[in-house]
Amino acid sequence: MTHWAVEVRNLSKTFGGGRKALDGVSITVAAGEMVALIGASGSGKSTLLRHLSGLVAGDRRAGAGAIKIGGAAVQANGRLSADVRRIRGDVGFVFQQFNLVNRLTVITNVLIGTLGRLPLWRTLLFRFPETERRRAIAALQRVGIADWAFQRAATLSGGQQQRAAIARAMVQGAKLVLADEPIASLDPEAARRVMESLAELNRGDGVTVIVSLHQVQFAMRYCPRTIALRSGQVVFDGPSAALTPQKLAELYGAEAEELLLGEAPTPAKTSPRGTIGFPRPVEALAIAAAG
Ligand SMILES: Nc1ncnc2c1ncn2[C@@H]1O[C@H](COP(=O)(O)OP(=O)(O)OP(=O)(O)O)[C@@H](O)[C@H]1O
């Protein structure tokens, strides 16, 4: 299967009041890459992902920017292409919330990824062929939540819901996955598992992944390349390993702290009861047991 490259050329988006959420963004992501999008709150990460997904059009003027996915135009000069719906059918979305239909089982949510391939009558009745059901279970196994397949999605933890959305993208056969802060508000262990599931999708299936993150240490660990935004502009595009605290301070000034928060606590920073920073679950248990 061919996976999709992404090309953004000179994209700008101005919201009411003249605020430029995106200001001449140009990036190219090759097929099969896993790229982190980082930036402090309000830097434009979600806005860029919403443009990539064809939900929002950029500024409407000549030369205002263009996006191509898999070689096909998603938008140009502030106008969405007629192909957007077709393109979206092959894009997997993993968002911070509202990923799943709560009242449906986990496996049905994953099977929703196959809807584009099935005849309408089957999709209306939620009648999925056995082969598809097996694929869904296999995908849930890959992300480590097959035991929850027949529970309602609402009963899953936040991290498990994200992994179910990743399993859905696997079954969908997505050619590109856009993940908007999929680990925000997760504890470090849950965040690690979500990032590993995304990496499995990228490395195992070759799917292009663009993931926005607040915490730079997750970008360094899971994404070979990072694109950093500040005030709607690309301020860094290169190897994640180059994003040392010094480099971040150079790029963001005081805002750099926001991107480093959530790091696993070092012993020096941790209080005797471990309440500073984010104790890992095992640490939290040990602390609770101690008492
Ligand atoms: N629909 C909108 N109307 C007006 N302004 C908006 C809208 N969407 C985003 N913005 C503004 O655009 C800028 C970029 O917002 P965006 O949500 O893309 O940032 P972000 O990097 O994703 O931030 P966060 O990490 O907090 O989610 C912000 O100043 C925001 O207030």
Q: Does 277 share its domain with 230? A: no
Amino acid occupying residue 139: A
Q: Does 226 share its domain with 291? A: no
Q: Does 279 share its domain with 237? A: no
DSSP conformation letters of the chain: -PPPPEEEEEEEEE-GGG-EEEEEEEEEE-TT-EEEEE-STTSSHHHHHHHHTTSS----STTS-EEEETTEEEEETTEE-TTHHHHHTTEEEEESS--S-TTSBHHHHHHGGGGGGS-HHHHHHT---HHHHHHHHHHHHHTT-GGGTTSBGGGS-HHHHHHHHHHHHHHHT-SEEEEESTTTT--HHHHHHHHHHHHHHHHHH--EEEEEES-HHHHHHH-SEEEEEETTEEEEEEEGGG--HHHHHHHHGGGHHHHHTTPPPPGGGS-TT--SS---HHHHHHHHHH-
Q: Does 221 share its domain with 286? A: no
The answer to the question of residue 159 being in a domain is no
Q: How far apart are CA 83 and CA 149, in angstroms?
A: 34
Whether ligand 1 lies within 6 angstroms of the CB of 46 is answered as: yes
Q: Does 70 share its domain with 179? A: yes
Mean pLDDT calculated for residue range 155-163: 94
The complex's ipTM? Answer: 0.95
Q: Does 199 share its domain with 186? A: yes
pLDDT at 286 over 90: no
Q: Which of 43, 212, 218, 227 to mutate to test the pocket of ligand 1 (most atoms within 8 A of CB)?
A: 43
Q: Does 284 share its domain with 183? A: no
Q: Does 243 share its domain with 274? A: no
Q: How many angstroms separate the alpha carbon of residue 49 from the centre of ligand 1?
A: 11
The answer to the question of residue 64 being in a domain is yes
Q: How far apart are CA 107 and CA 138, in angstroms?
A: 11
With a pLDDT cut of 90, the percent of the chain lying above it is 65
Relative to beta strand 34-38, strand 66-69 is unpaired
Q: Does 77 share its domain with 178? A: yes
The answer to the question of residue 254 being in a domain is yes
pLDDT at 229: 97
Whether ligand 1 lies within 6 angstroms of the CB of 42 is answered as: yes
Q: How many angstroms separate the alpha carbon of residue 149 from the centre of ligand 1?
A: 35
Domain range for residue 279?
265-291
Q: Which is the closest atom of ligand 1 to the Cα of 232?
A: 14
Q: Does 231 share its domain with 285? A: no
Nearest protein CA to atom 6 of ligand 1, as residue: 15
Whether ligand 1 lies within 6 angstroms of the CB of 13 is answered as: no
Q: How many angstroms separate the alpha carbon of residue 21 from the centre of ligand 1?
A: 6
pLDDT at 275: 27
pLDDT at 147: 96
Q: Does 283 share its domain with 251? A: no
Nearest protein CA to atom 17 of ligand 1, as residue: 46
Residue 219's pLDDT band (cuts 50, 70, 90): very high
Instruction: Map tokens 């104790």 to a residue.
Output: 279
* 264, two tokens: 């696993």
Whether ligand 1 lies within 6 angstroms of the CB of 227 is answered as: no
CATH number at residue 80: 3.40.50.300
Whether ligand 1 lies within 6 angstroms of the CB of 262 is answered as: no
Q: Which of 12, 23, 46, 50 to mutate to test the pocket of ligand 1 (most atoms within 8 A of CB)?
A: 46
Whether ligand 1 lies within 6 angstroms of the CB of 43 is answered as: yes
Nearest protein CA to atom 31 of ligand 1, as residue: 42
The answer to the question of residue 47 being in a domain is yes
Whether ligand 1 lies within 6 angstroms of the CB of 126 is answered as: no
The answer to the question of residue 214 being in a domain is yes
Choose the weakest-confidence range: 35-39, 79-83, 194-198, 283-287. 283-287
Nearest protein CA to atom 2 of ligand 1, as residue: 15
The answer to the question of residue 147 being in a domain is no
The chain-wide mean pLDDT, for the chain, equals: 85
The answer to the question of residue 25 being in a domain is yes
pLDDT at 288 over 90: no
Nearest protein CA to atom 26 of ligand 1, as residue: 41
Residue 116's pLDDT band (cuts 50, 70, 90): low
User: What is the pTM assigned to this prediction?
Assistant: 0.86
The tally of domains found in the chain comes to: 2
Whether ligand 1 lies within 6 angstroms of the CB of 208 is answered as: no
Instruction: Map tokens 């590993």 to a residue.
Output: 196
Model confidence over 19-41: pLDDT tens digits?
899 999 999 999 999 999 999 98
Q: Does 29 share its domain with 93? A: yes
The answer to the question of residue 37 being in a domain is yes
